[in-house]
């Protein structure tokens, strides 16, 4: 039995905890809830013993709050453990915790803002966490329905082809556990510069690329027991295609692969998963190769 690591919300809302416990119950996973507490105590004119006492009081208060929350949300049959951690760097702690491969996913509520000088923990986890990361949306469409898997059918990269299968495998398992349908979306992105220079005709390019995807669609359909009608191919920028299709089918979850960029390149360009996360009003499960 694998585990799901839930990063508890610090606000009164508890979207991550609620969604994480629901998935754990349906997937048959154990749950570890971790709540982070940290504040600088240097400004207080206290002795070392007094600082330690103050720190312990904050930890105890957070533990009491979390125990009350879990008592309302916990379902029968789910094994739930709770950790209260004094830690400023949430991302580094989570990365260390899941590094051994025993966790099926990390679940965290979304904080969807970013600037060049500040990288929220959502983005850092998407780029660096070794386990799949589920970013839970606090505000969603009403009456959400299928699970939507975003894949790259035009790739010839072995790593990306393998990532396609990881995405479909995860999406299929979650869809089955949630009694939801499964749909797959692939974007055909026409190179804008070549189109602007009249070096290719966009409609013809897209049509030929779609035709070249047929063998891979047939292979994936046979491997995962899917119908060709489950695959949707649309022309346009990847992030916009995924978000528009998710909105059209009112997806309750989008599962996609992400290859994390780092440093200035990541901050200036962003990843597709991050662009999707900024636009989407539903949960996003990001999987690294």
For the chain, which residues make up each domain, given as ranges?
Answer: 3-136, 147-287
Quick check: 271 and 261 in contact, CB under 8 A?
yes
DSSP state, residue 154: T
Per-residue pLDDT, averaged over 192-200, amounts to: 56
The CATH code that applies to domain 147-287 is 3.40.50.12370
* pLDDT exceeds 80 at position 96: yes
- Comparing 43-57, 133-147, 184-198, 211-225, which segment has the lowest mean pLDDT? 184-198
pLDDT at 281: 80
pTM, 2 dp: 0.87
Least confident of 31-35, 85-89, 155-159, 220-224: 155-159
Give the chain's radius of gyration (CA, Å).
21
108-136 pLDDT per residue, tens? 998 655 555 556 788 888 888 999 999 99
- CB 230, CB 218: distance < 8 Å: no
How many CA atoms lie within 13 Å of 45's alpha carbon, on the beta-carbon side?
0
Q: Which letter does DSSP use for residue 229 in this model?
A: G
Helices (H), the chain: 15-27, 48-73, 90-98, 121-128, 158-177, 192-196, 202-212, 214-224, 238-249, 263-269, 272-279
- Topology annotation, domain 3-136: Rossmann fold (3.40.50)
What is the per-residue pLDDT for 254? Answer: 95
Q: What is the DSSP string of 84-151?
A: EEE-S-HHHHHHHHHTTS-EEEEEEE-----BTTB--HHHHHHHH-SS-EEEEPSS--SS---EEEE-
Pick the more confident residue, 24 or 41. Answer: 24
pLDDT recorded at residue 235 = 86
Kindly list the distances between the CA atom of residue 141 and the CA atoms of 5, 6, 32, 187, 247, in Å, as whole numbers in the listed order: 25, 23, 28, 23, 8
pLDDT at 174 (0 to 100) = 95
């Amino acid at each position: 039995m694998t585990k799901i690591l839930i990063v508890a919300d610090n606000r009164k809302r508890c979207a991550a905890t609620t969604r994480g416990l629901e998935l754990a119950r349906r997937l048959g996973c154990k749950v570890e809830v971790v709540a982070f507490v940290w504040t600088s105590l240097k400004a207080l004119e206290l002795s070392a013993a007094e600082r330690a006492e103050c720190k312990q009081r904050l930890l105890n208060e957070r533990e009491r709050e979390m125990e009350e929350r879990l008592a309302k949300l916990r379902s029968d049959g789910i094994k739930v453990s709770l950790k209260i951690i004094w830690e400023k760097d949430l991302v580094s702690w989570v990365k260390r915790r899941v590094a051994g491969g025993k966790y099926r996913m990390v679940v965290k509520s979304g904080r969807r803002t970013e600037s060049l000088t500040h990288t929220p923990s959502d983005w850092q986890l998407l780029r660096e966490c070794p386990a799949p990361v589920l970013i839970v949306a606090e505000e969603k469409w009403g009456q959400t329905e299928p699970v939507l898997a975003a894949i790259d059918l035009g790739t010839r990269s072995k790593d990306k082809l393998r990532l396609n299968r990881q995405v479909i495998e995860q999406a299929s398992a979650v869809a089955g556990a949630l009694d939801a349908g499964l749909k797959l979306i692939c974007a055909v992105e026409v190179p804008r510069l070549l189109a602007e220079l009249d070096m290719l005709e966009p409609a013809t390019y897209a049509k030929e690329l779609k035709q070249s995807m047929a063998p891979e669609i047939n292979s994936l359909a046979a491997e995962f027991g899917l119908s060709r009608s489950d695959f949707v191919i649309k022309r346009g920028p990847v992030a916009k295609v995924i978000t528009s299709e998710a909105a059209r089918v009112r997806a309750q979850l989008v599962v996609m692969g992400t290859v994390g960029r780092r440093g200035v390149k990541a901050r200036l360009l962003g990843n597709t998963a991050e662009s999707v996360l900024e636009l989407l009003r539903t949960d996003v499960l990001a999987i690294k190769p």
